[in-house]
């Protein structure tokens, strides 16, 4: 499945890979066109404000998974009000990247406690460099930092639902977690699954192409053909799309590794188009084919 149109528009600033990344993202966020999709078990997804935001309303207060871009908060707030009048009380960060956490401060100010993996807190607490985006992110203000952290696994009971949180060994960062809504068979894979798009891999904070593949393989053991899967980016998906995602990563990794072993330069490997049969669709979100090939080359 191809990425939705609003996601493709986000590519304008991500594909640039420049120091204007954050400023361009926040400018985009001011006028982003958000989409709200109702799933099952009272779970919804808000897309278009950065990473996908999962929403669970109920008597314990609104629960959000990820907070998106900071500048999108009026639009996200309006979308949330359309889902439920419940006050925002809980926020879970799936990892530390800015398109999933820069809204933390306003969500916290609205009344939410923030839960995340220990490494998310670590990276948000200090200036953190991402070479792949040519940007050093400043430490997040105190209000945007997680106040509750965990290491390996954590269970949350809210709004009549049970959420099982699990940390991956390093995936696309060292801070990635999954959230399984056990009662309704919805699995939030966050940035360990990009539906119909080449993923970003952050070597600066513990990620690699090999660990991203391991996470994709692990995800397949945690879902069934009936599971609704929420990716970090792209449309809500299913197991078959997760299989394709894993297969694409493995195929391109093997091709790049073989060419690199033969002594080909990065420029030559990019020119050979190792992902040619996927590039037209998979290269239109955050990572164009050359950028993704470069990330793979770095890790093989």
Write the pLDDT tens digit of every residue in 186-229: 999 999 999 999 999 999 999 999 999 999 999 999 999 999 99
**Which residues make Cβ contacts (< 8 Å) with residue 258, sequence separation at least 6?**
none
- Pairing mode, if any, of strands 44-47 and 35-38? antiparallel
Residue 123 domain boundaries: 5-244
Asked if residue 300 belongs to a domain, the reply is no
Asked if residue 216 belongs to a domain, the reply is yes
Whether 135 shows a pLDDT value over 60: the answer reads yes
Give the residue-averaged pLDDT of 143-172. Answer: 97
Asked if residue 87 belongs to a domain, the reply is yes
| Pair of tokens at residue 67 | 């907070």
How far apart are the C-alpha atoms of 177 and 169, rounded to whole Å? 9
Asked if residue 47 belongs to a domain, the reply is yes
Confidence of residue 269 (pLDDT cuts 50, 70, 90): very high
Asked if residue 253 belongs to a domain, the reply is no
Q: What percent of the chain has pLDDT over 70?
A: 93
pLDDT score, position 174: 98
What is the CATH number for 149?
3.60.15.10
Confidence of residue 132 (pLDDT cuts 50, 70, 90): confident
Among the listed residues 267, 13, 287, 234, the one whose alpha carbon sits nearest the alpha carbon of residue 135: 13
pLDDT score, position 267: 96
pLDDT score, position 134: 84
Q: 260: burial class by Cβ within 10 Å (0-12, 13-18, 19+)?
A: middle
How many structural domains does the chain have?
1
Q: What percent of the chain has pLDDT over 90?
A: 85
Give the residue-averaged pLDDT of 227-251. Answer: 98
Asked if residue 298 belongs to a domain, the reply is no
Asked if residue 285 belongs to a domain, the reply is no
Asked if residue 262 belongs to a domain, the reply is no
pLDDT score, position 21: 66
């Amino acid at each position: 499945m191809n990425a939705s149109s609003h996601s493709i528009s986000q590519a304008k600033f991500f594909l640039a890979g420049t120091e204007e990344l954050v400023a361009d993202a926040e400018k985009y966020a001011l006028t982003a066109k958000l989409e709200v999709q109702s799933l099952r078990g009272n779970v919804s997804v808000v897309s278009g404000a950065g990473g996908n935001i999962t929403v669970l309303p109920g008597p314990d207060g609104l629960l959000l998974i990820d907070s998106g871009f900071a500048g999108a908060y009026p639009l996200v707030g309006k979308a949330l009000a359309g889902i439920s009048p419940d006050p925002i009380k809980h926020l879970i960060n799936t990892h530390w990247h800015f398109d999933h956490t820069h809204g933390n401060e306003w969500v916290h100010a609205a009344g939410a406690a923030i839960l995340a993996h220990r490494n998310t807190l670590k990276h948000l607490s200090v200036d953190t460099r991402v070479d792949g985006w040519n940007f050093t992110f400043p430490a997040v203000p105190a209000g945007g930092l997680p106040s509750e952290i965990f290491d390996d696994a954590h269970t949350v009971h809210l709004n009549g639902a049970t959420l099982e949180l699990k940390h991956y060994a390093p995936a696309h960062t060292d801070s990635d977690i999954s959230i399984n809504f056990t009662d309704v068979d919805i699995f939030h894979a966050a940035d360990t699954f990009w539906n119909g798009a080449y993923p970003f891999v952050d070597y600066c904070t513990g990620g690699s192409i090999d660990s991203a593949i391991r996470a994709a393989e692990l995800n397949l053991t945690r879902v069934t053909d009936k599971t609704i899967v929420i990716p970090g980016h792209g449309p809500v998906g299913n197991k078959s799309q997760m299989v394709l995602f894993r297969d694409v990563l493995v195929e391109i990794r093997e091709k790049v590794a073989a060419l690199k072993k033969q002594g080909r330069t990065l420029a030559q490997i990019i020119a050979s188009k190792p992902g040619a049969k996927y590039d037209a669709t998979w290269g239109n979100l955050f990572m164009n084919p050359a950028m993704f090939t470069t990330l793979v080359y770095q890790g093989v």
